[in-house]
Amino acid sequence: MTRAYYVLKPSIPGKVRLAVRRLRAERLSRRLSGVWYINETARTAPDGWPGWPDGKQFAFVLTHDVDSKRGFDRCLQVAEMDRRLGFRASFNFVPEGPYIVPASLRNSLAGKGFEIGVHDLRHDGKLYVSREGFTAGAQKINHYLAAWKSVGFRSAFMFHQLSWLRDLDIVYDASTFDIDPFEPQPDGANTIFPFWVSRDDGTGYVELPYTLPQDSTLFVLLRERSIETWKRKLEWVAEHGGMALVNVHPDYMNFDGRPASSEYGAHLYQDFLEYVRARYGRHAWFALPRDVAAYVRREGVLPQPRLAASDPLPSTPERGRISGAWRLRGKRVAMVVFSYYPADPRPRRAAEALVNEGMEVEVVCLKDGEAKRQTLNGVKILRVPMRRRRGGMFEYLFQYAAFVVLSVAILAVRSMRRRYHVVYVHNMPDVLVLSALVPKAQGAKVILDLHDPMPELMMSIFNLPHDSLRVRTLERLEKWSIRFADLALTVNLACKRLFVSRSCPPEKVQVVMNSPDEKIFGVRASRPAPPPPRAPGQPFVIMYHGSLVERNGLQLAVDALARVRRSVPSAELRIYGPSSPFLERVMQSVRAQGLTSAVQYLGPIRLEDIVGAIEDCDVGVIPNQRSVFTEINTPTRIFEYLAVGKPVIAPRAGGIRDYFDEESLIFFELGDVADLAQKIEYVFFHPAEAAEIAGRGQDVYRAHAWRAERQTLVNLAADLVSR
């Protein structure tokens, strides 16, 4: 029936075709009760999915199919709208048929950052009539792909036979969808993620399904007059960290305010782009289709399609997840950290992630009463008889220098017995990469994990001006250390921007966020419920945990508590963390303000015990003081509170706002005690609203959960050892 329709189509008047299609679409939409555009089975991330670049929550991809001469005449207007609003898209042109695509137009669009794709051959619905006909057509399509320097293809009318498309010389195809019952071939891919299709020779291409309804479906067939369906589907895709790919046709977009029956007002598309930029500007990876395909190939994660039986694909070893982690098996890595292991969570997560991929991991760290040698969760630990002591700048320099000398000697001796494949160094200090001198000379790759930017941290600790000699020296050492390493990792986008601005090219530094270990914190499936009514006299518990140093703002929390207790007499502050001279000053302030009964210092706490402490609190606070360091920091403690479902109050700082907005976190002005007190009172008096905000914050946490960050780390390491 479908083949017959496309044979007869040229002889059927356009208005008749549209009327029949609308009648069918209206009956379908009534039967599907308005939920046809969301397929809950498509939301599951495939095994080994690494997340999106730079820790983004989801990918947003724009494509434009130019089907007719009318669309061709409007494509420059659409491109200008995209460009003006800060977007770039793929324009997919038909190489033979309704119009001619001059090289000047293709070159002009490409020069402005747009992508050019090939859209079918003649856009007549006949490409898939027979296997022999497709093979002949594929030869012509490959000619246009080469001539246009295109890497992507999309069939007309979203027909697809993915096994046939292997004949094309493409990096990606975009002829499928996650769900769309209105298409002539309605079998969906059942996923909102890219997936891999193998060829017999072991090569393959990436399939990019569209996951937002096409504009023609919404505004021409169903005659919707708002972008609400787009917004709801986009929210759902973003919530599950997928790829929001939308196909918009210039053919149906009217710019003069008088749309025909087969058109819609261009303002709807403009409204949608403005909404996406305002709502998701910091959370989405805005990418061209070729960028997504390149990312999937580079990461080596090739998720398995879940197509309907109408398009069978033979089972091959290349299908499904191929993360490249097999390249790590049996490799030996030395991890060096000027800290205590396993107490320092980031080195512990990284070491255990590599051990789980079959690597032999040896950690060289400080010793504070533990055994000199130990094996923990498969990680071999060698502790150097040194303790970290806080003090002045020269005290830090002496400790760093002594540990660097010892670690250089230890790794040199051990690598002579059996060489290392990777040396993984955690700063601080940056120059700890020198410990890899001998292994690097033997061919080992070096990873420098930049937990903190040393210049900014020292400026914060010692109140140094940016142009001081000591700060400039630290910046030069940072630049040299990153140059010495083969790969630099850092903890968030703000730090990456900082390192790139002064020390390295952007491709050399990658983000692996400090996400909590899910074996300890878990990932809750449902959003937190508002707490039950508070019993008379029940304490309202505010929690602080972490390093007890001035920049982390414990004094600010104590001062805020003094204000809060005027309206919330049951408020109390519980403090967890290792003792420090700063803590003594804070406790003196507690006594001076008469808060002794309201402030409890409960000492250091093991990572495994933090969950229970968080469950016993009502709100967590990140009470940072304003400094050049806290402006760029993204505290892991935010994720830890959200993982357990507790509201968290955090400073309005760039390193946090890269990931959270006003709807997903309770912000206070950095260093402002009055504003912090006001936000604590807000949580007490508006528990339902605070729980809603925490629930949306959990969505951000899920997008950056350790399983995704861990896979990013593993893939980066696998790529490094295979160079």
Give CA–CA dist 433/429, Å, rounded.
8
246 in the same domain as 135: yes
Whether residue 598 lies inside any domain: the answer is yes
Q: What is the mean pLDDT of residues 504-520?
A: 85
CATH number for position 133: 3.20.20.370
8 A C-beta contact, residue 495 and residue 516: no
Please write the tens of the pLDDT for every residue from 150-208.
999 999 999 999 989 999 999 999 999 999 888 888 888 889 999 988 887 778 999 99
Q: What pLDDT was estimated at residue 458?
A: 87
Helices 673-685, 554-564: axis angle to 10 degrees equals: 60
What's the pLDDT band for 410 if we cut at 50, 70, 90? very high
Residue 102 has pLDDT above 90, yes or no: yes
Tell me what the pLDDT averaged over the chain comes to: 88
Angle at 374 between CA 370 and CA 377, to 5 degrees: 115
Whether 722 is covered by a domain: the verdict is no
The domain in which residue 413 lies consists of 325-515
Six token digits for residue 671: 């260093």
Please check whether residues 571 and 483 belong to one and the same domain.
no
Backbone angles phi, psi at 540, to 5 degrees: -95, 110
Query: Are 486 and 630 within one domain?
Result: no
In a domain, 634, yes or no: yes
Q: Which band of pLDDT confidence, cut at 50, 70 and 90, is reported for residue 370? A: confident
Residues 493 and 528 in one domain: no
Tokens of 120: 């079918």
Look up the CATH number of the domain holding residue 390: 3.40.50.2000
Q: How many domains does the chain have?
A: 3
421 within some domain: yes
Residue 189 belongs to some domain of the structure? yes
Decide if 720 is inside a domain.
Answer: no
Task: State how far the Cα of 260 lies from the Cα of 710, in Å rounded to an integer.
Answer: 52
Note the pLDDT tens digit of each residue in 227-257. Answer: 989 998 999 999 999 999 999 999 999 999 8
pLDDT at 118 over 70: yes
Residue that is last in its domain, among 299, 317, 349: 299
Do 162 and 99 lie in one domain? The reply is yes
For strands 90-93 and 152-154, give the pairing: unpaired
When mean pLDDT is compared across 47-51, 168-172, 260-264, the lowest value belongs to 47-51
pLDDT in tens, 136-151: 999 999 999 999 999 9
- Single out the residue of 78, 147, 144 nearest to residue 114, CA to CA: 78
* Co-location of 665 and 686 in the same domain: yes
Per the model's pLDDT, the better-predicted residue between 542 and 49 turns out to be: 542
Mean pLDDT of 338-354: 93
Joined together, the tokens standing for residue 471 give: 């700060």
Q: What is the pTM of this model?
A: 0.57
Strands 90-93 and 115-119, by their bridges, are parallel
Token pair of 526 as six digits: 């449902």
Residue 723 lies in a domain: no
Confidence at residue 146, expressed as pLDDT on a 0 to 100 scale:
94
Percent of the chain past pLDDT 70, that is, above it, reads: 91
Verify that 503 and 537 share a domain, yes or no.
no
Residue 31 domain-assigned? yes
Residues 334 and 355 occupy one common structural domain: yes
User: Does 481 lie in the same domain as 462?
Assistant: yes
Backbone φ, ψ for residue 544 (5° rounding):
-130, 130
Residues 588 and 509 reside in one and the same domain: no
Higher-pLDDT residue of 325, 151? 151
Same structural domain for residues 219 and 83? yes
- Domain match, 527 and 502 both: no
- Residue 309, pLDDT score: 35
